[in-house]
Chain A
Amino acid sequence: LAKTTQPISMDSYEGQEVNITCSHNNIATNDYITWYQQFPSQGPRFIIQGYKTKVTNEVASLFIPADRKSSTLSLPRVSLSDTAVYYCLVGGGRNDYKLSFGAGTTVTVRA
């Protein structure tokens, strides 16, 4: 059973806001939600992590509803350089520290 489900791809234009929603119906009580970004032939790069409600940093915002069964990564005012694969991961609870990557979302930003 997949731990997370997210759209395969999303298209956007420069300057727009991109919202990627991830479903994680079986999230455990102690699990965190973490998003990574990966460019071709590069290692995944940490974007943001949260447990509940809303988290914001200089790059993105993460919205987590009260039931924690989904989360939404929000990328404000994307640019061409934001074209990448975005992975939603849940874990960290019950001493499970490894990252289990599912199918990420390929975001393509056009001029």
Chain B
Amino acid sequence: AAGVIQSPRHLIKEKRETATLKCYPIPRHDTVYWYQQGPGQDPQFLISFYEKMQSDKGSIPDRFSAQQFSDYHSELNMSSLELGDSALYFCASSRRANQETQYFGPGTRLLVL
């Protein structure tokens, strides 16, 4: 079965640079979620999109922005990167109807030097 695809899988950036993470949801899933997991920490919700509109917002820094496109893929844009942004970034997708569960991608490991 098709799973959530994230790219790139690994990314190394320097402070103050920008990064773009991409997420391709499972086919026919209309909702995309972004989570950040720092070293030794639990995943933290950043932002979500339903039918290309932002549906919920968590602890996402103002330096980050995201959007969902017409083909339902999503991109997380991160600017002015800081050392503390080093983390695993997970994307999850679901179908909103009927409380369907979220399926997570393999994550993008971002290292900011």
Is the pairing of A and B real?
A: yes
**Cα distance, A90 to B56, chains bound together (Å):** 17
Q: Report chain A residues within 8 Å CB of B35.
A: 99, 101
Stretch in contact with the other chain, from A21-29, A37-45, A60-68: A37-45
Chain B's interface: helix, strand, loop or mixed, by majority?
strand
Q: In this complex, which of B4, B58, B102 has the most chain A Cβ atoms within 10 angstroms of its Cβ?
A: B102
Complex-state Cα separation, A2 to B94, whole angstroms: 25
Contact B44 A101, beta carbon cutoff 8 Å: yes
Q: Which of B12-20, B72-80, B103-111 lies on the face that meets chain A? A: B103-111
The answer to whether B65 has its CB under 8 Å from any CB of chain A is no
- B44, B103, B105: the one contacting A46 at CB < 8 Å is B103
Q: Is the CB of A104 within 8 A of B99?
A: no
Residues in B whose Cβ lies below 8 Å from that of A49 = 99, 101
Chain A hits for B99, CB < 8 A? 32, 49, 92
Find chain B residues with CB under 8 A from A104 CB.
42
Provide the residues of chain A in CB contact with B90, threshold 8 Å.
43-44
- For residue B26, CB closer than 8 A to chain A, the reply is no
> How far, in whole Å, are A96 and B43 apart by their CA atoms in the complex?
17
Residue of A nearest to B58 (CB): A98
> If the complex has contacts A99-B43, A104-B42, are A43 and B94 also in contact, measured as CB distance less than 8 A?
no
Which chain B residues numbered 33 to 80 have a C-beta less than 8 Å away from chain A? 33, 35, 42-45, 48, 55-56, 58
Tell me whether B88 is interfacial, beta carbon within 8 Å. yes
Residue A55 CB within 8 A of the other chain: no
B interface, CB within 8 angstroms of A: 4, 31, 33, 35, 42-45, 48, 55-56, 58, 88, 90, 92, 94, 96, 99, 101-107, 109
| A contact set with B: CB distance below 8 Å | 32, 34, 38, 41-46, 49, 87, 92, 96-104
A41-B109, A98-B58 are known contacts; what are 11 more A-B pairs with Cβ within 8 Å? A43-B92, A44-B90, A44-B104, A46-B101, A49-B99, A97-B31, A97-B96, A99-B43, A99-B45, A102-B42, A104-B42
